């Protein structure tokens, strides 16, 4: 049985503070601008302009589409058929060729690369520009909890304050010295550190009118039903056996994240594994988990999370995407939790307890500079409980049902506060173990295998230097959020 206890956020914590004046009206000033530049070089002699008397619309995608006749593409990207060949094509074939050309122009205008993730939608970019950043007095670049390899966090990093391994109530947490409460409502915003790195995102939820009823509430109901099947072996009133072995194992010791019930599904690597492997689940659990993730509410949650990730951290998202593509190209037998365009994460943990409450913890085996998504579900009063505590940032975040947050869970200690006795709370998390990135970076070999191989002194020296650079190179995948005046 394959087990891994250190990687993957099992629950969440909160991190934010009151907005200060320096963070008002902020914008992104990075090498990857929020809106693409569509000043394309025209070639009027190539093809006649489309005949249209309507004024051009101003959205970037429409601009790209209208300029398709003005862009001369490279022959290797979109070869132009000869006039004689065009005449020999059927009407359907001519239409298909025209659509392929249009897509090529749009990809070029938006800076997209074939096979890479598509650029964020304009509505997502606008929402990012309108977001309110949440500043924290914390320098993520000088975090003491990064392992010597640069890939992951350490199990017990040095901290100023070590919280007890127990569940805290909201009143207890906010009474601790230095803790601040962030009243997160529906506003989306990046979590920004002292160096202006965007180290996380308060994603909230899409502005879909049916999100609460069709996604948040249905996802919670599905999790309650699935938990009954996994842990009680009851499906539609039929009893399918006991879980005595699991109960005995759980009684041996208290798990580091808490005593709640959780199941991980997807692919991981750690604990001495020679290559990435799926989390082990028995047949019944596999059927339940696969069916659960295939449901529309979880597809929509994963898709929304992916969009936010791609919008606020495009370079980091691209790194996740390319790593997963290489991994699944190396081993086509590995199954994804979601389609590649829906989620770039390798694994997910579903927390099934009717009251999922966690202790302060780190998911240190995840990628050190990577993000993990946490979605809160259930039926509880977010003003009285269920808050996310980000202990190292001294922040307590109001975390309502149906909301999603992305945080670097390998380095930021987190937990959630208790809820009222009659309430229910579940959570759904997505993440990727650092071991998968390391395995792909090693040309599909473990560190043990690489170190045991015949390497020259120069190659060994380069591996040492790569360790020193890795954390800095990882930070360069983050955006920087800079102030501006309007």
- Per-chain mean pLDDT for the chain: 81
pLDDT digits over 135-169, tens only?
999 999 999 999 999 999 999 998 888 899 999 99
Does pTM top 0.85 for this prediction? no
Cβ neighbours of residue 207 closer than 8 Å, sequence gap 6 or more = none
Which of the four pLDDT bands, split at 50, 70 and 90, describes residue 394?
A: very high
Beta strands across the sheet bearing 404-407:
134-135, 189-192, 198-204, 404-407, 372-379, 424-431, 347-351, 262-268, 277-278
CA angle 392–25–16, rounded 5-degree value: 15
Q: Give the pLDDT score at 384.
A: 96
pLDDT digits over 267-293, tens only?
999 988 999 999 999 888 999 999 999
**Radius of gyration for the alpha carbons in the chain, expressed in angstroms and rounded:** 24
**Alpha-carbon distance 88 to 241, whole Å?**
67
What is the enclosing helix (H) or strand (E) of 379?
A: strand 372-379
CA angle 266–15–392, rounded 5-degree value: 90
How much is the average pLDDT of 437-451? Answer: 95
Which of the four pLDDT bands, split at 50, 70 and 90, describes residue 450?
A: very high
Q: At what angle do helices 296-312 and 122-129 cross, to 10 degrees?
A: 60
β-strands 424-431, 395-397: how paired? Answer: unpaired
pLDDT digits over 461-474, tens only?
999 999 999 999 99
**Alpha-carbon distance 295 to 278, whole Å?**
21
How much is the average pLDDT of 43-69? Answer: 43
CA angle 388–391–397, rounded 5-degree value: 30
> Which tokens is 265 given?
């599904």
Lowest mean pLDDT segment, chosen from 58-72, 248-262, 441-455: 58-72
Of all residues in the chain, the percent with pLDDT exceeding 90 is 60
pLDDT digits over 363-376, tens only?
999 999 999 999 99
Q: Domains in the chain, please, with CATH?
A: 60-125 (no CATH), 132-441 (3.60.130.30)
């Amino acid at each position: 049985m394959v087990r891994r206890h250190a990687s993957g956020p099992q629950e969440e914590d909160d991190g934010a503070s009151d907005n200060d004046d320096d963070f008002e009206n902020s914008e992104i000033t990075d090498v990857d601008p929020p809106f693409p530049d569509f000043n394309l070089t025209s070639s009027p002699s190539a093809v006649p302009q489309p005949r249209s008397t309507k004024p051009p619309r101003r959205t970037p995608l429409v601009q790209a589409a209208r300029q398709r006749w003005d862009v001369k593409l490279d022959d290797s990207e979109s070869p132009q058929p000869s006039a004689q060949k065009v005449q020999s094509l059927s009407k359907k074939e001519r239409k298909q060729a025209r659509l392929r050309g249009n897509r090529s122009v749009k990809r070029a205008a938006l800076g997209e690369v074939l096979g890479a993730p598509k650029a964020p939608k304009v509505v997502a970019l606008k929402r990012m520009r309108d977001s309110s950043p949440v500043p924290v007095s914390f320098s993520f670049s000088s975090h003491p909890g990064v392992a010597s390899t640069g890939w992951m966090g350490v199990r017990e990093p040095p901290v100023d304050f070590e919280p007890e391994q127990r569940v805290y109530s909201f009143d207890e947490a906010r009474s601790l010295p230095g803790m601040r409460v962030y009243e997160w409502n529906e506003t989306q915003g990046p979590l920004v550190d002292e160096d202006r790195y965007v180290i996380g995102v308060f994603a909230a939820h899409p502005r879909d009118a049916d999100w609460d009823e069709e996604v948040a509430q249905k996802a919670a109901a599905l999790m309650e039903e699935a938990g009954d099947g996994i842990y009680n072996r009851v499906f539609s009133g039929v009893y399918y056996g006991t879980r005595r072995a699991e109960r005995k194992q759980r009684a041996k010791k208290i798990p580091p994240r808490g005593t709640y019930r959780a199941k991980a599904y997807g692919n991981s690597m750690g604990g001495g594994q020679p290559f990435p492997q799926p989390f082990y689940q028995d047949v019944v659990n596999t059927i339940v988990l696969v069916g659960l993730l295939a449901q529309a509410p979880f597809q929509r949650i994963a898709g929304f999370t992916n969009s936010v990730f791609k919008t606020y951290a495009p370079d980091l998202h691209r790194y996740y995407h390319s790593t997963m593509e290489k991994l699944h190209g190396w081993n086509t037998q590995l199954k994804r939790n979601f389609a590649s365009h829906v989620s770039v994460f390798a694994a997910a943990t579903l927390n099934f307890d009717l009251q999922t409450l966690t202790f302060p913890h780190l998911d240190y085996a995840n990628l050190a500079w990577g993000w993990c998504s946490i979605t809160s579900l259930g039926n509880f009063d977010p003003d009285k409980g269920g808050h996310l505590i980000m202990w190292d940032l001294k922040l307590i975040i109001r975390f309502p049902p149906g909301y999603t947050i992305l945080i670097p869970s390998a380095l930021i200690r987190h937990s959630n506060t208790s809820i009222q006795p009659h309430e229910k709370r579940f959570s759904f998390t997505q993440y990727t173990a650092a071991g998968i990135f390391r395995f792909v970076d090693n040309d599909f070999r473990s560190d043990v295998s690489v170190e045991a191989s015949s390497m020259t002194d120069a190659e060994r020296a380069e591996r040492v230097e790569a360790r020193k650079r890795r954390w800095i190179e990882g930070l360069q995948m983050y955006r920087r959020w800079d102030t501006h005046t309007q």
